[in-house]
Amino acid sequence: MTAPDAPPHVAVRRVSKRYGPLTVLDRVDLTVDRGELVTLLGPSGCGKTTLLRLVAGLATPEEGTIAIAGRDVTRVPPHRRNVGVVFQSYALFPHLTVAGNVAFGLSVRGRRRDEIDRAVARTLSLVRLEHLGARRVSALSGGQQQRVALARALAVEPEVLLFDEALSALDRNLREEMQVELRRLLREIGATAIFVTHDQDEALTMSDRIAVMNGGRIEQLADPKTLYERPATLFTLGFVGQSTRLRGTVAAAGDGMVAVDTPVGRVAAMGQFLAGSSVVVATRPEHLRVVADTVGHEGSDRARNSVDGRIRAVIFQGSRSRIEVAAGDQVLLAEAPGRIASALNPGDAARLVWPVAETFAYPDPEARA
């Protein structure tokens, strides 16, 4: 969508933000291409809203620069940035109607009446509120107010849109519907978007790329598939999706692989460490296959890991079930389609088998060097 030599639409370079002694953003770099949707994902307080406020111009960084379409806007006021924001708190005008709120940005820009009416009708229908245009916003539910805020930001068709938990008040069905519709509309108007959510599924569904944030820094920035399948750090692995994690010590290393002694026996994993290193080996539940027959244990080999244990719980989750297998004092997480899981019972002996290629070793953050 963007020519290879085109500058990024939004470029955040080495930006730091402090409040008193607290460093809320620590030398953050983030570039977003024209038409791209990048999601900021991370625990409460990691700096997501602060980063959006800096891009919108509602706060100024102590260090670093922000450029939009190649222009340095670090000190340009919000109304001269062509950036739309949907805030975490909706910040609607309570004395105006739904349609009045949505029309507001267009009116202050002096757009023609018929143009305003068309934009209001279009965005209200997008958020499924076409029937409530004349209602005062103070007489709406939280989810309805959130959708008015969304429509208000979209109506002016800014080049850059920032969404802070913009769908969080909606029930699951409406939310999933809006994710698809919103993504389609953003593509249609060619808008560049930075999206903040706590919902991993939403991030994986909507984003071209995801930035996982941790304590004011971007821990990993990658497309959803890479982020999920090849998390660069233990933090990203733990924050996106589920996993089994086992602590251990590297017994042997070579060829980008390690053999690790863990509490459940030797486990092979991808990674480069010296023998004797303290590591954590991790795998996603969908790679662990549960084998009910535990006769003839050959142990782990170069291609696959194998651990014997006992089924602790089978948790029904609709189309699939999560299976917890206890081995010694460790619990390993597997996943299976309902039809396979229904044959498994707590207390049964079970063997877990999984590919070494899907097992990754990370430095143990709690180990003393």
Ligand X SMILES: Nc1ncnc2c1ncn2[C@@H]1O[C@H](COP(=O)(O)OP(=O)(O)OP(=O)(O)O)[C@@H](O)[C@H]1O
Q: Judged by CB under 6 A, which of 15, 28, 41, 49 binds ligand X?
A: 49
Work out which of 8, 12, 49, 195 binds Mg ion, going by CB under 5 A.
49
Is residue 19 a contact residue for ligand X (CB under 6 A)?
yes
- Would you call 331 helix, strand, or coil by DSSP? strand
Helix, strand counts (H, E) of the chain: 9, 20
Q: What, of Mg ion, ligand X, none, does residue 44 touch, CB below 5 to 8 Å by kind? A: ligand X
Pairing of strands 304-316, 83-86: unpaired
Q: Does 346 bind ligand X (CB under 6 A)?
A: no
Listed ranges 45-53, 166-174, 254-262, 350-358: which one lies at the site for ligand X (CB under 6 A): 45-53
Pick from 2, 45, 299, 346: which binds ligand X (CB under 6 A)? 45
Among 11, 15, 24, 106, binds ligand X (CB under 6 A): 24
Stretch that binds ligand X, among 27-35, 39-47, 178-186, 329-337 (CB under 6 A): 39-47
Residue nearer to ligand X on the CB measure, 104 or 163:
163
Q: Does 50 bind ligand X (CB under 6 A)?
A: yes
Angle at CA of residue 6, ends 5 and 7, nearest 5°: 115
Maximum distance among all Cα pairs of the chain, rounded to whole angstroms: 79
Query: What are 85's two structure tokens?
Result: 């924001």
**CA 186, CA 202: separation in Å to the nearest integer?**
15
Q: Does 141 bind ligand X (CB under 6 A)?
A: no
Q: Which is nearer to ligand X, 47 or 224 (CB)?
A: 47
* 162 in contact with ligand X (CB under 6 A): no
Q: Is 197 in the site for ligand X (CB under 6 A)?
A: no
C-alpha gyration radius of the chain: 25
Q: How far is CA 113 from CA 116, 118, 120, 153, in A?
A: 5, 9, 11, 18
> Can you say whether residue 247 is alpha, beta or left, with left for phi > 0 and alpha for psi between -120 and 50 degrees?
beta
285 half-sphere exposure, CB direction, 13 A CA radius: 19
Give 48 or 147: the residue with its C-beta nearer to ligand X. 48
| Inter-residue contact 36 to 98 (CB < 8 Å) | no
Contact with ligand X (CB under 6 A): which of 15, 30, 33, 48?
48
Q: Confirm if 95 and 74 have CB atoms less than 8 A apart.
A: no
Q: Give min distance, CB of 4 to ligand X, in A.
A: 32
Please choose, out of 47-55, 61-69, 103-111, 292-300, the segment that lies near Mg ion by the rule CB under 5 A.
47-55
Q: How far is the CB of 165 from ligand X (least distance, A)?
A: 7
The least distance separating Mg ion from the CB of residue 56, rounded to whole angstroms, comes to 13
